[in-house]
Amino acid sequence: MIYLDNAATTKMCEQALKEYEYYACSNFYNPSAIYQPAIDVSLALNAARGQIKKCLGANKGDIIFTSGATEANNLAIRGSLRQGKWEYVFSAGEHASVFNLANALKHEDKVVHFVKLSKSGEIDYDALQSMLNDKTRLVSVMFVNNVTGVINDIARVSQIVRRHAPNALLHVDGVQAVCKLPFNLQEFDVDLFSLSGHKFHAAKGVGALYVKNNAALKNLVYGGGQEFGLRSGTENVPAIMSMAKAMQAQNIEQNYQIASQLKQAFLQHIKDERITVVGQNTSPYICMLLFDGVNGETLTRALEKSVIVGRGSACSAKKAGNHVLEAMGFNVQQIKGAIRVSFDASLSNADVVSAAETIKQTYYQLWEKLK
């Protein structure tokens, strides 16, 4: 069985698993306690913050540990809300944890704007600029789209926001970019940046929010004041330490080249006039395909004994429709045929070629039955 749903989750790497076990079973102390073993754990947590900041290329600010990117996104957005006639701007292609929250804010009578996507899948930068003003409080634009793999130009977004919305915070959902694309947060000038450990071979149930200035956020959880008072609750030390270790273990440049070669080989073998490859300027780790005449769920289930693929966001896989593909202009019938293939550097060229041939053959068989 070939696993090609790495955008949904990844297998823990050996280094992260060993670190998790050590802090779960040996060095298991509560970092808020006052005896020396606990103090040592607290120091290790702070060292992990520094390691994560270094991996992100951030030279200032703090790392707030969370239960994952969904919580990090909610903390970034809800924590930014303020009384008054502020406006909030989101791209139309955001992950459900941002997109659904944005719609909830509309029902709470907040002024919410959605920036349309271009046909290529990127945010419409001109449309973004037109929505910004002195009343803009927050702009949230994801780095790499989790459905299509399309990469937004965050440096360009930052420049537009700083020029046209001087009072705004810029939040970026970086889940599909961290440990996959080479980048440096210092060059982007973002205020808030979300990440999730299980997307790059760490444990599930842990993530983080980079915060440039803690004063910009309000806490959502009350308790003992952990995480600079922004996210109270005893830290999930084993998972946090596994996340920091997994980040250190990744050779981003080398893995990027491997993933690029894998995706190119896959696309060469999956090519067909009835199969549409979605998006331009995409991550080498993600490939969204539309299969004409066959339901993507049917194809996914037909493949699962030999090739594991996804439908898009794992968080929304069981729900009808796809707001990202809709925002790109695809119709309902086209969207029904969607599957997402996502790669990992541990795969071989033979793996992806075999997977492409299996997917294509299975598609042909289904198409013949259904036409």
Which residues are known catalytic residues?
315
Let me know the angle formed at the C-alpha of 77 by 8 and 102, rounded to the nearest 5 degrees.
75
User: Residue 345 in contact with residue 255, Cβ under 8 Å?
Assistant: yes
Residue 7: HSE in the Cβ half-sphere, 13 Å Cα cutoff: 32
Tokens of 135: 């009343």
What single DSSP character describes residue 151?
A: B
The residue type at 359: I
Secondary structure (DSSP) of 299-349: HHHHHTTTEE-B-S-GGGTTSS--HHHHHTT--HHHHHTEEEEE--TTS-H
Residues 358 and 354: their CA atoms lie apart, in Å, by 6
127 CB-near residues (< 8 Å, 6+ apart): 115, 116
Let me know the angle formed at the C-alpha of 324 by 257 and 366, rounded to the nearest 5 degrees.
80
What single DSSP character describes residue 176?
A: T
**Sign of torsion, CA 136 138 144 146?**
negative
List of E strands, 155-269: 169-173, 192-196, 207-211
Tokens of 66: 């969370």
Tokens of 145: 């789209």
Tokens of 34: 């006052």
